[in-house]
Structure 1
Amino acid sequence: MNNRTYFYLILILGSLTALGPFSIDMYLPGFPAIAKDLHTTASKVSLSLSGFFIGISAGQLLYGPLLDRFGRKKPLFIGLTVYILASVGCAMSTTIDMLILSRFVQAIGSCAAAVASVAMVRDLFPVKDSAKVFSLLLLVVGASPMIAPTVGGYVTAAFGWQAVFLILTGMGLAILAASVLWLPDSFKPDTTLSLKPKPIILNFISVIREPQFYTYSFTGAIAFAGLFAYVSGSPLVFMEVFHTNEKVYGWIFAFLSIGFIGSSQINTLLLRKYKSEQVINIALVCMVFISLAMLFASYNGLLTLTLIIILLFLFLCCIGLTYPNAAALSLAPFSQNAGSASALMGAIQMGMGAAISVVVSLFEEPSTFPMTFAMAGSSSLALCVFLVGRQMITQPVEVEAGADSGLIH
């Protein structure tokens, strides 16, 4: 393909990948305003975030087989339509339960975009280039945590939290139009694939039994759960514990995202000299030490606003190095059922995120401890899974040295 086609393809795939993160990040500054309008607490509002994670986790298992059976575009179009309608439902919510339900349905729609974009990378580009493409997608996805909460803070302050969901509705419409007009057919539908529960389950089992898949998908997902703990807990920590307003919170969130995005791009340079496995090993060890330091400071009342920002920045840098490499290594062994593999990987990731965000939201009292405890626990468990799991891999499929890695979901 020529450079212009390549650019537009990366832009559309990146937009599809970014839809979910934008839907997560943009409404975070509105937590206190939503709680006030819907007569509930900020902790209860965070359950709408947990509902979103659960929806994405469940939805990806649904879309994986559909993408393999009917091709990439039809299920994608249906998912985007569901997302648009649910976004309107979020804006019209009058109770917290209605918002949680609407967010769940919104997630079911958005995950079609996430799974389709990953599968299409595997369709359109050779394995040796897949990590490089993921890294390019991250440049588009990177706009989410840098722009979304900042814009969300100003929009909420000026027009109310409902306006955020109307903006997301417009984004969904624009991405649907671009996908219909310019996204190529990248995969011939597999009419032999059964959509009955038993064959689908057996297909997922065949994927998860691959040692390289379960080692790196669980390592990446558990490590990435630390990011979900941060996303779920940060509105409470910054706006309730440290008393920042929604605009300041948006800027802090945007600044911290630089560590995550920047480190994932530095990964490009590291992979010229080191293997993905080596990068993951070092990053996980650093994550454990940083998160334990943060937990110790929280437990002893030593966390200041400046200190927690510094430690969170370093922690997110480690995630930016860990997950991209884990994602690329997870998908490397697959070609025929890449849709199912990417869906299962995403489901595991979002399932972990949903679980940890629910745990964080259970604590009603404003405190830094629940978030820091969850981050320390996830990073320690991820390191253990990595060290044990890599011993099970007898025939590794490597990402070529010199290839870049990028965030998938």
Structure 2
Amino acid sequence: MKKLTKTQFVVVIILSLLSALEPFSIDLYLPGFLKISQTFNTDLKSVQLSISFFLGGFAIGQLFWGIISDKYGRKIPTIISLLVFILATVGCIYAQTIEQFWIARFFQAFAGCAGVVIARAVVNEFYDTDQSMHVFSLLAIIAGIAPIIGPVMGNFLINHFVWQSAFVTLFILGVVCLISVVLFLPETRIVSTTSSKTNMAQDFKEIVQNNTFVKYTLIGSLTYSILMIYLANAPYLIMEYGGLSSNMFSSIFAFNAIGLILGAWLANSVLSRWYTVEQIVKLTVYFGIVASVFFLIMCSYKSTIELMLIPLFFIVLTLGVLFPTTTKLALAPFTTNSGSASALLGTLQLTLTFIISALTNIIPLDLITLTGGSLLLCHLLYLFCYLFKDKKVGEYE
């Protein structure tokens, strides 16, 4: 891989901050749910509803900022989105009712998700093929670290200060991101004489007609679904079924997150020496199927939690490999409309995750078997994705 220049390295740091903004916005305030419910004199379900408003803003915002950044460039929309994020965060701090809090969280997600969408587009435009794989892996590592640091930092802040301190921290992070973008982020969008004449429907039509994008977006979406299934069921699996303490749960959760980081490192620094990116995805999919089969067998026979955690670790490790590789391959065919492609990729991830979660919740199985079966189903669906012909992948690997 060609060594990063000083400017490229600075851009990596900025993109890492932008990518961390959204996961921190989700994880940092979770330990304060009880205090928030007391402040607004409401129940915990109403506070939990703020996550739904956040995810709604996240889904809608991705499409909006992807289109806007393709039309007006990467830098100006990022600056505007960060200004809106900062204002929405102030709204969270000074909200007087739970309804005001919901609205503020919606706009916080709507604006904050621009960093995730535009960061992927910038990587696709600003770095060469080998460098982009490296940077996508770094962003995947950031995505793995944030869920570890977020709840721990949030727990510290809320235990020592008021719950609003979590949002003060987000406000400071937003300001740091804004200053960094204004001073150091270059405009990376490739100017096209035809881009201004292209409407949203035409953009998305061209994107979904690209088999490479469809193939690797589906695989990446299934990868995100597996992560959400794991996050949703890990507390029950480890503490309720396994009988382990909350401290042990935190340790296991952190250890598995290290597995996700290790997977991103393997994809970028080890496997890439011998295999193309497409081959890495294919090998990882097969490895994930084997790990999920073993996990389902242990779930079916109600094995001990210690044995279950072994294949579960390797399942999480495969996610670390697939997040950067599928993102790179899905966005590689696009130049002028990579922002729209990045937005569509993120929206499809959320949509497919919602559908899979809804379907698994209505299946009449015990939670342990259901978790194992859901993970195996997602891995088997990987194989279906390979039915899509991928003739162009060799052109950009």
What TM-score, normalized to structure 2?
0.84
Q: Tell me which of 65, 68, 73 is aligned to 1:71.
A: 73
Question: What CA distance in whole angstroms lies between the structure 1 residues aligned with 2:222 and 2:18?
Answer: 24
Instruction: Find the counterpart in structure 2 of residue 394 from structure 1.
Output: 391
Question: What CA distance in whole angstroms lies between the structure 1 residues aligned with 2:373 and 2:94?
Answer: 35
Corresponding residue SS for 2:273: coil
Matches within 5 A, 1:77-88: 77-88=79-90
Corresponding residue SS for 2:340: helix
Instruction: Find the counterpart in structure 2 of residue 119 from structure 1.
Output: 121
Matches within 5 A, 1:163-312: 163-187=165-189, 193-194=195-196, 199-235=199-235, 249-267=249-267, 268-298=269-299, 300-302=301-303, 304=305, 306-312=306-312
Corresponding residue SS for 2:377: helix
Question: What CA distance in whole angstroms lies between the structure 1 residues aligned with 2:294 and 2:120?
Answer: 35
Check the 8 A contact 1:73/1:185 in 2, yes or no: yes
Instruction: Find the counterpart in structure 1 of residue 343 from structure 2.
Output: 343
Give the deviation of 1:168 after TM superposition. 1.6
Pairs aligned (count):
392
Amino acid corresponding to residue 344 of structure 1 in structure 2 = L
Q: Which moved more, 1:61-70 or 1:350-359?
A: 350-359
| Cα displacement string for residues 315-354 of structure 1 (whole angstroms, at most 9, x for unaligned residues) | 1101111222111111121122212212211221232334
Check the 8 A contact 1:152/1:250 in 2, yes or no: no
Give the deviation of 1:167 after TM superposition. 1.5
Amino acid corresponding to residue 318 of structure 1 in structure 2 = T
Check the 8 A contact 2:138/2:264 in 1, yes or no: no
| Cα displacement string for residues 9-29 of structure 1 (whole angstroms, at most 9, x for unaligned residues) | 211111112212222333444
Amino acid corresponding to residue 86 of structure 1 in structure 2 = A
Give the deviation of 1:143 after TM superposition. 3.3
Instruction: Find the counterpart in structure 1 of residue 329 from structure 2.
Output: 329
- Per the alignment, do residues 339 and 157 of structure 1 end up closer, same or farther by CA in structure 2, a change over 3 Å counting? same
Give the deviation of 1:189 after TM superposition. 5.9
Question: What CA distance in whole angstroms lies between the structure 2 residues aligned with 1:194 and 1:5?
Answer: 29
Corresponding residue SS for 2:387: helix
Amino acid corresponding to residue 280 of structure 2 in structure 1 = V
Check the 8 A contact 1:131/1:399 in 2, yes or no: no
Corresponding residue SS for 1:388: coil
Question: What CA distance in whole angstroms lies between the structure 1 residues aligned with 2:164 and 2:244?
Answer: 21
| Cα displacement string for residues 188-244 of structure 1 (whole angstroms, at most 9, x for unaligned residues) | 666754589xx2111111011001110111111112211122234445655666677
Check the 8 A contact 1:220/1:327 in 2, yes or no: yes
- Per the alignment, do residues 159 and 257 of structure 1 end up closer, same or farther by CA in structure 2, a change over 3 Å counting? same
Structure 1, unaligned runs of 5 or more: 401-409
Question: What CA distance in whole angstroms lies between the structure 2 residues aligned with 1:35 and 1:291?
Answer: 38
What TM-score, normalized to structure 1?
0.82
| Cα displacement string for residues 141-182 of structure 1 (whole angstroms, at most 9, x for unaligned residues) | 443133222222333333354432322222112111111122
- Per the alignment, do residues 241 and 279 of structure 1 end up closer, same or farther by CA in structure 2, a change over 3 Å counting? same
Question: What CA distance in whole angstroms lies between the structure 1 residues aligned with 2:88 and 2:149?
Answer: 22
**Structure 2 residue 160 is the aligned partner of structure 1 residue 158:** yes
Give the deviation of 1:310 after TM superposition. 3.5
- Per the alignment, do residues 368 and 148 of structure 1 end up closer, same or farther by CA in structure 2, a change over 3 Å counting? farther
Q: Tell me which of 131, 134, 139 is aligned to 2:133.
A: 131
**Higher relative contact order (CA closer than 8 Å, sequence separation 6+):** 1
Question: What CA distance in whole angstroms lies between the structure 2 residues aligned with 1:371 and 1:46?
Answer: 22
Amino acid corresponding to residue 387 of structure 2 in structure 1 = V
Question: What CA distance in whole angstroms lies between the structure 2 residues aligned with 1:393 and 1:375?
Answer: 25
| Cα displacement string for residues 238-296 of structure 1 (whole angstroms, at most 9, x for unaligned residues) | 56666777766544433221000111111121111112222222222232333344345
- Per the alignment, do residues 345 and 143 of structure 1 end up closer, same or farther by CA in structure 2, a change over 3 Å counting? same
